[in-house]
Structure 1
Amino acid sequence: MRQCIILIAISLFTLQMPASAQSRDVNAIKAVLGTQLTAWNEGNLERFMETYWRSDSLMFIGKSGITYGWQATLDNYKKSYPGKEGMGTLTFNLLEFKKLATDVYFVVGKWHLARTIGDLSGHFTLVVRKMKGEWKIVADHSS
């Protein structure tokens, strides 16, 4: 009986470990998205873009189609949201975090821009990958 209790305790402890690691990952990804919100709401697109993978392979999918590359994505943001009035105040509602691999998550959420020139809102899906110890957005589909 005692051995059975010990085995159950070990099994329960082992089952808790991945959930704990996943919770740390989700919290770290939430912190990345918090950095995005802060940077956006300060009108700082360059700092907002620090959360994205700085690569020509970055993929952003929006209403105009697919954009590849970090710089092209930044350029599109600057063109689409000129100045603080165009950027407004961004909020997120994070809906789901799906672990795809030890270093990859799929994130689903809603976004809302409160602006004096008219609010905008939609949904987003992100592929977030841990590279060199940091979580970076490698693909973003926002609509």
Structure 2
Amino acid sequence: MKNYILIICAVMLSQVSSAQTSQTADKKAILSVLKMQRLAWSDNNIEGFMEGYWKNDSLKFYGSNGITYGWENTLERYKQAYPTADHIGTLSFKINDITKITDDAYYVMGEYHLKRNVGNATGIFMIILKKIEGEWKIIADTSS
């Protein structure tokens, strides 16, 4: 009986450890997506920045002007809001929280900072990322 309890405890501990390792890997991969976006943005490459988003009509972006649906519409929204390199500037993030929602989805809460020639800008965001075909993609973005 004593051995049986020890085996159950060992199995439970290995499952917890495996889950923690999986979450650590997920968070690292999500941070990698955000880093790629930050670098692309700061290189005046909005299309590269958009590679972090789900290329689908169901993508949702919710900002100060309401909700935008779809990857193409979100790209156009960014291009209109940031028409020149002076408007785009240099992007940095402060990530405040990354939380698992389900096995293949997380939300990220943070702050963004744009250092720009036309005046700096700051705000907050919450994004939802989902693992789609092995890649983490933003499926919903709320920024203000």
Fold-level match, TM-score > 0.5? yes
What letter is aligned with 2:56? S
Deviation string 1:44-68 (CA, Å, 9 cap, x unpaired) is 0111101101111110011100000
The answer to whether 1:54 aligns with 2:55 is yes
- Whole-Å separation in 1 of the counterparts to 2:4 and 2:72: 60
| Whole-Å separation in 1 of the counterparts to 2:4 and 2:70 | 57
Deviation digits for residues 96-121 of structure 1, max 9, x if unmatched? 11111111111101100011211100
Which residue of structure 2 aligns with residue 37 of structure 1? Answer: 38
State the Cα distance separating 1:5 from its structure 2 match.
Answer: 5.2
Q: TM-score, normalised by structure 2?
A: 0.93
Number of equivalences:
143
Distance 1:120 1:80 in 2: 12
The residue aligned with 1:70 is: 71
Note the residue ranges of structure 2 that are not aligned, 5 or more in a row. Answer: none
Alignment of 1:1-143 (within 5 A): 7-143=8-144
**Seq. identity, %:** 43
Give the distance between the partners of 1:94 and 1:51, measured in 2 at CA. 16
Structure 2: distance between partners of 1:15 and 1:103? 17
Scaled by the length of structure 1, the TM-score of the pair is 0.94
What is the deviation of 1:3? 6.1
Say which SS state the counterpart of residue 78 (structure 2) adopts: helix
Q: Which amino acid aligns with 2:18?
A: M
